Amino acid sequence: MKAVRKAHDTNKLIAVLAQKDDDTEDPEEKDLFKIGTVARVLKVLKMPDGSITAIIQGRSRFNLVQMDSTEPFMVARVSKKEYAPTTKKLEFEAIIGSIRELAEKIIKRSPNIPSEAVVMIRNIKSDTHLLGFISSNLAIDNAKKQELLEIEQMDTLATEVFKMMHNEMQMLEIKNQLESKVRVDIEKQQRDYFLNQQLKTIQEELGHNPQEAEIRNLIERSKKKKWSKAVKDTFEKEIAKVKRINPQVAEYSLQLNYLELLLDLPWEHHTNDNFDLKNVKKTLDEDHHGLEEVKDRILEHLAVLKLKGDMKAPILCLVGPPGVGKTSLGKSVARALKRKFVRMSLGGLHDESEIRGHRKTYIGAMPGRIIQSIKKAGTSNPVFILDEIDKVGKDFRGDPSSALLEVLDPEQNSTFYDNYLELEYDLSKVMFIATANSLQTIQPALLDRMEIININGYSTEEKIEIAKKHLIPRQRKEHGLKPNNVKLKDDVLREIAESYTRESGVRSLDRRIASVMRYVAKNVAMEDKYNPTISKTILPTILGPDRIDTTLYTEVHSSGVAIGLAWTKVGGDILFIESSLSPGKGKLTLTGNLGDVMKESATTALSFIKAHGDSLGIDATTFENTDIHIHVPEGAIPKDGPSAGVTMLTALASAFKKKPVKSHLAMTGEITLRGKVLPVGGIKEKVLAAKRAGIQQIILSTANKRHVDQIKPDYLTGVTFTYVDRMEEVLQQALDIWSF
C-alpha cells in the first residue's frame, strides 16, 4: 500500500511481479518471478475497510536486476525487456488480424464481457499492447499468463495467444450449445404441460373424457367375446375397479393392460380342422420323406377327432438326432390340419415364471410364454411346438420342467393356471409337439406325460430322396438358379452324403448342396463355361477332399477277427473286433476305449467259451496258460453297449479254434451266460451300414426280425439274414464248429 501511494505521488510508475506461490503471505525476492511488468498507476481508491484499490495500466516488460531494499517497501533495479523483432512479417500481420477477429467473436459470445470491449480492441494500434491486453484477459491461470509474459519472440507470443483464444472459443461454443439444448428441453416440457392442461380443460368443458372413451371401448369389445361366466365376472369386476382409479396413478395402466389381455385371449375361439385325411397325408408326404410312424400317429388322431367330434389332443414328443426334421414336421402338421402354428424354444429356460407368468403385484409383471403364445396365435387350438424340451435349465430361480407338468398333462391342462391371468385357461385343444435330442435329461414325471415317437436317422438312400425332393429345389431357388443350370445325379448325391457328411439328419448335406449351388451360381454370373451335370470327379474341386473316411469291409483271412454292427448318433457303422492269444496265466486285456457294458460282454463271452470248452474242443488247460487280448480299432472313439456280445464271442472262438470267420459276414446281438442271443436296437441303421460296406450275410436275434421287416426291401437287395436264438447257432453259422 505504501509502494502504491509513493508511486502515485511521484512518477506514477510501479514494477509489478507475480508470486510463484499465491499462498505465501509475506513474499521475499526468492518467492517472486524475475520477469514482470512496468505499470502506470492511474487511480488509487480508498475503500471503507481501510484498504486501497489501485487501477494500473501495463506499459512494458522488465527484468529484475537487483533488489535494493525491502523496507518500508520493496525497491529494486530493473532493466527494460524488449521483444525480439519478427522475421516473418506477413505471417505475423495475418495472425494479428486473426486475433483481432477472434477477440471480437469471443466478446460477442461471452455474456460477461461488455460489448464496449470491441471498441477497445479496435482502438489498440500497438501489436505489443494488443497481445498484452488480450493475454491479461484470457480465462487462464496465473502460471500460464507468466509463461506468456516470458516469451521472447513476438510471433511466438502471437501464436500461443491465438491457440489459447481458439480453445476459449471452442469452450464458449460448447457451453452455448449445452445451454441452448437445456433451454429448448425445458421450454418443450413447459409447453407440453401447458397444452395438456388446456386440452384437459377443453375436454372437461365439452364433456369428453379420454379415459372414459377408453373404458367404453373395452366394454364394447367385451360384448362380442364368447367366454365363460367366471371370465365375464372377472372382467366386470376389474372394469369397475379401473373406473374408480385416478388415471394419473401407475396402477391405472397396469389394470388396463390386464383387461386388454383378457380381451385379446381367444377363450372360446377355435379354427376348423381339415378332416380330409387323404389331403393331410398328401401334405405330410410332400413336406417330409419317410417318418411313417409320426405321420400315422397324426392321421390316427385326426380320424378319431373326425368320428367323435371332440377329444383331448395328444402330447407327442419327437426324439431324434439334430437335423432329422422334428421342428419342421410340426410346421407341416399345422399346415396339413390348417391350424395356427406356434413355436416356443425351451433351450436354456431356467425361470418357471416364463411358463406360469408373474404375479401382478410385481413390477414389470407379464403373463407366461404359454399364454402369450396362445394370444399371438389368436386361437385356442394351435399346433404348439415345444422345442428342445431336453435342454430346460434348473437352478435357484425355479424348475421350469416341473411347471411344464401341468401344461403337458392331458388330464390337467384343461385348467391351466397362469399367475398373471389369475384364471384357469383350457389348453386341452392345443396340439403340443415336443422335440428332444435325448430322453436322458428329461424329468421322468414329464416324460411319463408324453407319447414318445423316435425319429431315427436317415439312410443314405433316404437322404438321396430327400435331397432330390426337397433340398435341391429349395437351394436352387435360394441361389437364383434355373433347373437347367445344375443337375445332380444319384451317384453324386451318394458321394456327397457318404464322403462329405457324417450325420443322422440332413443339415450338413443341405450345406454341401448349397456349396455346389454357389459354385454353379458363380459360373453362371461370370458367364464362364461349365458342365451343368456335376460329376464325382469335380466334387473335390467344389467341396475339397473327402472329409469322411468310410470304413468299408475288407475281407479277413486271419483267425480271431469278427465284424460287428454298431449304432452311432450319426447312423450305423461296422465294427472290427480283434482278439489274440499269447502264453500267459489266463489274463484278459480289453483295449479300444470301451464302456462298462461292452467290457462285461467280453467277460460274458469268455465265460461261455470256458464253460463249453469241451463242446468246442478246447482243452481246459488252454485257458489257464493263455493271455487273451481283445481290441476294437479306432480307440479315439468311445464305444459302449451290449450289441457287440455275439461279435466278441465269435472273435474269441475263432482265436481259440484258429479258424477264420466266414467272409462277408457281420453280426449284432446281446448274449447271456445261459447261451441266449437277445435283440438289440438301431437295426435299420446297422443293416444299411452293413450293406454300404459290402456285407452279404447278417446274423441277428430272431426277435429283431420285425425290425428288418420295417425296412424297405429295395434297401436290402444282396443281403441275406440269419436269425438265431442261441449262441451255439451263431458259432455254427460263423465258424461251422458246433455240432448239435
* Matching residue, cell 510471433: 155
Query: Do the beta carbons of residue 579 and residue 560 sit within 8 Å?
Result: yes
Q: Shortest CA distance to 131 belongs to which of 65, 192, 215, 60?
A: 60
The residues pairing with 720 across neighbouring beta strands, listed in sequence order, are 697
Q: Shortest CA distance to 14 belongs to which of 28, 3, 2?
A: 3
CA distance 459 to 289: 11
Could you tell me the strand order of the sheet in which 571-583 lies? 588-591, 626-631, 571-583, 561-568, 665-667, 697-701, 720-724
CA distance 484 to 5: 109
CA distance 466 to 189: 63
Strands 416-417 and 424-425: antiparallel
- Is 324 labeled as ligand-binding? yes
- Is 320 labeled as ligand-binding? yes
- Residue 603 corresponds to which cell in the numbers above? 467277460
CA distance 487 to 466: 15
315 phi-psi bin (left φ>0, alpha ψ -120 to 50, beta other) = beta
* Matching residue, cell 399371438: 376
- Beta-carbon contacts of 687 under 8 Å, excluding residues fewer than 6 positions away, are 565, 572, 698, 708, 711, 715, 716, 719
- Residue 684 corresponds to which cell in the numbers above? 435299420
DSSP structure string for 227-288: --HHHHHHHHHHHHHHHHS-TTSHHHHHHHHHHHHHHHS-SS--PPP---HHHHHHHHHHH-
- How many Cβ atoms sit within 10 Å of the Cβ of residue 653? 28
CA distance 133 to 57: 10
Grouping H, G, I as helix, E, B as strand and the rest as coil, residue 158 is helix
Q: Which amino acid is at 235?
A: F
Please pick, among 353, 643, 654, 701, the residue that the annotation labels catalytic. 643
- Is 132 labeled as ligand-binding? no
Dihedral of the alpha carbons of 261, 264, 267, 272, in degrees to the nearest 10: -150
Q: Shortest CA distance to 339 belongs to which of 295, 384, 376, 299?
A: 384
DSSP state at residue 452: E
- Is 348 labeled as ligand-binding? no
Residue 686 bears catalytic tag: yes
Query: Do the beta carbons of residue 320 and residue 507 sit within 8 Å?
Result: no
- Is 322 labeled as ligand-binding? yes
CA atoms within 13 A on the CB side of 45: 7
Q: Which amino acid is at 220?
A: E
CA distance 677 to 681: 13
CA distance 366 to 371: 10
Grouping H, G, I as helix, E, B as strand and the rest as coil, residue 128 is helix
CA distance 149 to 139: 15
- Beta-carbon contacts of 246 under 8 Å, excluding residues fewer than 6 positions away, are 252
- Residue 667 corresponds to which cell in the numbers above? 453280426
- Is 487 labeled as ligand-binding? no
CA distance 327 to 323: 9
Start-to-end CA distance of the chain, whole Å, equals 137
CA distance 719 to 715: 9
DSSP structure string for 292-345: HHHHHHHHHHHHHHHHHS--PPP-EEEE--TTSSHHHHHHHHHHHHT--EEEEE
Please pick, among 380, 686, 691, 701, the residue that the annotation labels catalytic. 686
527 phi-psi bin (left φ>0, alpha ψ -120 to 50, beta other) = left
- Residue 212 corresponds to which cell in the numbers above? 372414459
Detail the residues annotated as belonging to a binding site for ATP. Answer: 320-327
The catalytic site residues sit at 643, 686
